[in-house]
Each structure stands twice: as C-alpha cells, then as structure tokens.
Structure 1
Amino acid sequence: MADLCVDEYTDHGHCGVLDVHGDVDNDLTLEIYAKAAVAQANAGAHVVAPSGMMDGQVAAIRSALDAAGHTDVAILAYSAKYASGLYGPFRDAVDVQIVGGGDRKGYQQDWRNAREALTEVEADIAQGADMVMVKPALSYLDVIVAVRAITNLPVAAYHVSGEYAMIKAAAANGWIDHDTVALEQLTAIKRAGADVILTYFTRWFAERAMGANTASGLPS
C-alpha cells in the first residue's frame, strides 16, 4: 500500500499546491494526485491511499488508474480524516509543519462534526473507493460505528502517532501497563467495527501474536 499526499514535498506543508492567494488549489492538486497514483501503481503498489482530503480525489485517481491500465489497483480512501491534534509525533518525525503556523482545517474535517464523515464516506464510495478510512481512531469510535453501519466495504481505522505516543509515555512513567492498554485500545477499535487497523503497534502486536501461537502449538 502506498500513501498518496504531497505535504512532505512542498515548502509550505499543505496537502496540495497553493494558488496565488495562498489557498489550496483543489483541482490542480487532483491532477498531481492522479499522476502520483499512476506512478505508485507502476512501481508495484496494489493499493493507493489518498490522504490529502481533496474534494473529488477518489474519482480523479480511479479515472487515472483505469486509463493507465491499473484497473486492479485498489483505493483506500481517507474518507473521514479529522483535523486532529494527535498527529504531532508523526509530523515532528517527518519534519512537516505548516509554514507561518497555519493548519489543515480548510480540507480536513472538523472534529466536532460526526455527520460530515458519513457524507464524505458516501461520496468516496460513489467515486469508486474500495475501502474507507477513519482517522484518528480512538477519539472517533462513534464515527467508526456509524461508517460500519452504512457500508459493507472494508472499514479501516488509523491508530495515529499521538495515540501511540500517549501509551508509550504513560507506560514509561509507570502510570499504566503498556501491553494491557495497547491491546485494550486496539480491541476497542476492532469492536467498533474496523476491519483493518493501521497502527504503530503493528510489529509489537505481530510478535505478540506469533509468540502466543508458538506457545499454544498453533502455526505462526
């Protein structure tokens, strides 16, 4: 799977190109997303995941992929991506910040609004999404439940860097038990209706599961 966005390649940190007024140019950005998706598919990606939250991005990418002969490449749409304060550790790690102290609230979703997520999900499905995403996960379990109720497509949830870091920091200070809370949170996301969980705990969970299988005699 290949994430598809441009914020790490711009000098301003936004998820799209800017117009002469300094605003994100949605339609011009779609042209870049379409080219990037084809390049990712050419490189071998089986799934492309547009995370920039531009209007019409799924339709533009699906059209470009099909025209390039990549009809079998799936799209995981970041349909409900909120303008959350929980992305900080990731953005620090990749050194992506909005120049001048701006934000992405103009195209990411308002975390006070759950209904808009369903509108976005329905739009992405109509445009050809094969899977839909809710991001972040824990603060939006209600959204995961609601999305699960309106579609039979696979629902993904992104347990983001801030959610991961809070467990790590609290465990390092002895305030919580790391393994118990990590598993509790991932289980809550699954219980809410997520078919797929993207998390920084992936390696920890896989090693834990393999160890449990080995101990029980099950194949790992």
Structure 2
Amino acid sequence: MAARILLLVLLSFTTTLIHAYDPSPLQDICVADLKSPVFVNGRVCKDPKLAKADDFFFEGLDKPGNTSNNVGSKVTPVFVDQIAGLNTLGISLARIDFAPYGENPPHTHPRATEILTVIEGRLYVGFVLSNQNNNSLITKVLNKGDVFVFPIGLIHFQANIGHTPAVAIAALNSQNPGVITIANSIFGSNPPISDKILAKAFQLDNKVIDYLQAQFWVDP
C-alpha cells in the first residue's frame, strides 16, 4: 500500500513537471492588454469580447532585417509584445537575418527551448552543455531546410559561414522566451560589474576588462 501511495505521489510530480513553462490557458483566448499598468506573471487579459483579428496578426516577416551592425545579424521577434493574442498560448517565433559571415552571438533563452529552421544560406550552430556535463560543445553545419534544436536555458549561437546572406526562422515554446546575450550581460551590465570581479573570473588584466566594458555591445 505504501509503495502504491509513493508511486502516485511520484507520478503527480512528474505530471506537473511536464507542463509547458508558460501557464496553460483557462479560457479560449487571453489577448494581452499591453497598456495595462498591472504587473503579473505574463500579461493581463483584455475582455474577450473586445478581441479582433489584428490581435492575432503580424505582418512583415518576409522583409529582411537590417544586419549592418557589429555582429552582422538582426533578430525580428514575434513575441507577445508583437502579437497580443499569443498571451497564455506558450509559443512565439523570430526571423533571424545574417549578413555574410555574420553571427547571432552566444546567448540563452531562460524560458524556452528553440527550434531553428534554415530558410536560406548555410549556418554553423551550436550549444554548450552545463558544468555538470563538462561544458561540452555540440555543433552542426546547417543547410537550407535543415532543423536544429537548442535546449532551454543553454548558451547557443548561430553563424553564417557563407559569402551570401542567410535567413532562419526560430520557434520557441514561450510567449516571452527572454534573451540573455552573454557579452552584453557580462560586459555591458548597468551598472557595470566590478572589473576586479571580472578580471578574476576570466583571468584577465583589469585593463582588458575596462576595454571590454567600454565597447558598444550590440543587441542583435
């Protein structure tokens, strides 16, 4: 009897853990009220009777992003801030444009797994496992039509290894997956992290850290 109770408890925990990170919807739609001053975990819903087609619509994903920046890439997000109707649905996507040899630098999505499809060009992509798994690097060269998955929370990147522009579409299992670009967060934090702390962490001279913190870190 005790064994059965323990099994039921374990199963209940397992069932809870396999839910998506975003809360499940409890009604047909929960269009985000993007002007609401109320702060909740997600977005406040507006009255469903006020919903309109434009709440579930985004246009322009066919247009190339401007990649004329230091990293040579541009991410066009389609998150809940762009489509209010995504609220509580647990999905979003983005278009990523790459200049020749441009890159989407190492970053993480703290709230989502990403699945990437190459639309044009040739990309070198990869992610790094945690300390627990020896920080192993897993990489792959992707061609047009190829698909690759980046597990939730892990540092990953994409780089165009061709001499022509590249395009990819990323889908994520959160309405607001979040983005932490590693270089921006470490060397471009506001206020700055102490150069002494970073110098020790990276085993670099303080002057090198000061130089890095003085750079203009681009948000792709």
TM-score (norm 1): 0.30
Greater helix proportion: 1
Higher RCO (CA 8 Å, separation ≥ 6 residues): 2
TM-score (norm 2): 0.30
